[in-house]
Structure 1
């Protein structure tokens, strides 16, 4: 049975929020102020029709938008979109007692995402539908870089070769790095081999094991060319990596000795090492080895030391940090609570935090502020365009 409701606000997943009998109902693709017809089950609803559209509503550019779960915000105009994404950062900060607004919103979509994971299923190849384990078949995804234009076709070819699988793509300087994962214990790797030549792949792996490699996938980071380990972390867009690196360099200008914590393969370490001594640490052994190999082959760097270290269990202590006048950290979604506590107790002058989860960022920011730091230059970096994810760049100074 359908119901007419008025949308009061937006939730964290960009769903319109209405109330029925005092209970919050979440309506995908609905905007505040709209009067809409819905059909709901519990607190989740399907949007059936829009009686009064918001002035902020625009036509989505992708024909799959209403079914595909890859994007959630193509129906918002620019002002509403940026305000929503900024609120994803500001609201958790306010709950943590921090009244710092976003000072700048950066469109870091660039040429599109250079990383994506598609799903090969019986119904087709594409992204999962919203709130579903069913795949929305697609032939083209407009938010990907041109080098990934054939990703849906490649995903279909994987299904034809070995059946259901998840296929992750990374566009690199030397070609596509493709990682296939399947629940089958005896998936036929041989059946995948022809795809390397057919789609001109740099590397193809199956469940973490090499199938074929024509050349090592590589990316440029400052003066260095880094060969990517399979499955290693990389910012979703090149534009975002470039902006974040510029932000870090500017914030840490003049630093003589910097630590890059959760350094990955070195997007910040290599650029910082052009003017500062750098200590880089990460728990990912393959990433550290790739960073160190690139360091040995790169000229024009100051001292750059890379160390495998689990900063969740073996954080750098306030006593070790006494040697550094600047720190940059880019932790995963869980944040870096233990490491941040040591930083808050240290005498490091400047800390830059790059974060992908607003809630854990707010928690860690509160710890640093409690330790005597001031939050400055809070930037929303929108590399996951049209999604509900946002990257954060922030500077903390004593």
Structure 2
């Protein structure tokens, strides 16, 4: 039975929180201060009507918002949106005992996301519906770069040929790169070659196996052109990569020797090598190979030493950390083991980029306890209208 409720606050997933009969209920697309009509099922609420809207409520620009699970925050105005995302970073830091001011909130949506994963099912292709494993069939997604405008149609065509699967799309300098994931075991890879050709894909891969290569997918990083390995990490927007790289370069400053740890295919290493010697390490061997090749074919760079190394199990020890500066860009799990070694080393400066505020706060606390000062914390919003956020900060002894 529908009930009237008052939204008290926002949860970390962007859902409004109401008290119904003394229990917290999480209501997507509701804002603090609003009176709403909702259906409840345990701690989940479904918004039926906004009875008294908050002043910071905005009109969503996508007609599928509210049904599609891809975006959660289009109903917020710009100020409320920035405040919510800033809280995602500041709150975990405060819980770790670090009272830090944010220097800048940078909107880095750019031309849109150059990476997306779509699901192909019998009833179409698109993203999953909100709070559901049911598909929302899409004809377009307005937060993708124009180069991926055909992605839903491509996903439908491949899904029709393969069956249910997930498809990872990347817009590259050579065209659209597609990786098939979670496909039925009986897929005949060779049968997909004519279809991939008709679809005009630069590359099609099934898992880690390349099915078709019409043109090697590549991305530009500083002066370099980097061939993109199958499945390797790439920042969601080109603008965010540039913003983060500019931050890292400025924070590293005049350092002559730099360790770029969790370096991926080299978005920082290749730019830093214009002025400094770089040791670059990552567990992704194909990424290191791509970085090495790009470095060899780029004129005017100082030496880049690329190493495939699992920094979770085998971090650089305090005795190996003989660098003027260390750059860290770990995945969501953070860099706990590596930070532990940095804390007892003589490294004078650390520049950290992170995509998970909670593990960033944990690692930042460890560095501060070791005598580092956290400064120039910036928030980079590349995951538009979602509850994901990127953060960068500098730590100096």
Q: TM-score range by the shorter chain?
A: over 0.9
2:44 is matched with 44
Gaps of 5+ in 1: none
Separation (CA, whole Å) in 1 of partners of 2:46 and 2:149: 31
Separation (CA, whole Å) in 2 of partners of 1:193 and 1:123: 24
2:371 is matched with 372
Give 3-state SS (helix, strand or coil) of 2:176's partner: strand
1:355 is matched with 354
Where do 1:1-398 residues align within 5 Å?
1-321=1-321, 323-398=322-397
Separation (CA, whole Å) in 1 of partners of 2:46 and 2:279: 51
Greater alpha carbon shift after TM alignment, 217-226 vs 265-274: 217-226
Give 3-state SS (helix, strand or coil) of 1:210's partner: strand
Give 1:124 deviation, angstroms: 1.6
Write the deviation string for residues 222-256 of structure 1: whole angstroms up to 9, x where unpaired: 11111011000000000000000000000011001
Give 3-state SS (helix, strand or coil) of 1:372's partner: coil
Give 3-state SS (helix, strand or coil) of 2:158's partner: helix
The two structures have a TM-score, normalised by structure 2, of: 0.99
Give 1:346 deviation, angstroms: 1.5
Give 1:122 deviation, angstroms: 1.6
Give 1:208 deviation, angstroms: 2.2
CA contact (8 A) 1:162 1:191 kept: no
Greater alpha carbon shift after TM alignment, 91-100 vs 122-131: 122-131
Give 3-state SS (helix, strand or coil) of 1:103's partner: strand
Give 1:295 deviation, angstroms: 1.3
Separation (CA, whole Å) in 1 of partners of 2:207 and 2:245: 32
**Aligned-pair Cα RMSD in Å:** 0.9
CA contact (8 A) 1:89 1:102 kept: no
Give 1:193 deviation, angstroms: 1.7
Write the deviation string for residues 80-119 of structure 1: whole angstroms up to 9, x where unpaired: 0000000000000010000102221000000000000000
Gaps of 5+ in 2: none
Write the deviation string for residues 287-346 of structure 1: whole angstroms up to 9, x where unpaired: 11111111111110011100011000110111111x201010100000010100111111
Greater alpha carbon shift after TM alignment, 78-87 vs 346-355: 346-355
Give 3-state SS (helix, strand or coil) of 2:170's partner: strand
Q: Find runs of 4+ consecutive structure 1 residues off by over 4 angstroms.
A: none
CA contact (8 A) 1:357 1:391 kept: yes
Give 1:21 deviation, angstroms: 2.3
CA contact (8 A) 2:163 2:183 kept: no
Greater alpha carbon shift after TM alignment, 67-76 vs 175-184: 175-184
Separation (CA, whole Å) in 2 of partners of 1:266 and 1:195: 33
Separation (CA, whole Å) in 1 of partners of 2:320 and 2:109: 38
CA contact (8 A) 1:266 1:291 kept: yes
Give 1:352 deviation, angstroms: 0.6
Give 3-state SS (helix, strand or coil) of 1:364's partner: helix
Give 1:212 deviation, angstroms: 0.5
Greater alpha carbon shift after TM alignment, 194-203 vs 4-13: 194-203
CA contact (8 A) 2:162 2:183 kept: no
Give 1:39 deviation, angstroms: 0.6
Separation (CA, whole Å) in 1 of partners of 2:313 and 2:210: 31
CA contact (8 A) 2:118 2:152 kept: yes
Separation (CA, whole Å) in 2 of partners of 1:123 and 1:50: 32
Give 3-state SS (helix, strand or coil) of 2:39's partner: strand
CA contact (8 A) 2:28 2:45 kept: yes
CA contact (8 A) 2:229 2:290 kept: yes
Give 3-state SS (helix, strand or coil) of 1:161's partner: helix
Give 1:196 deviation, angstroms: 2.3
Separation (CA, whole Å) in 1 of partners of 2:313 and 2:263: 16
CA contact (8 A) 2:259 2:325 kept: yes
Give 3-state SS (helix, strand or coil) of 1:84's partner: helix
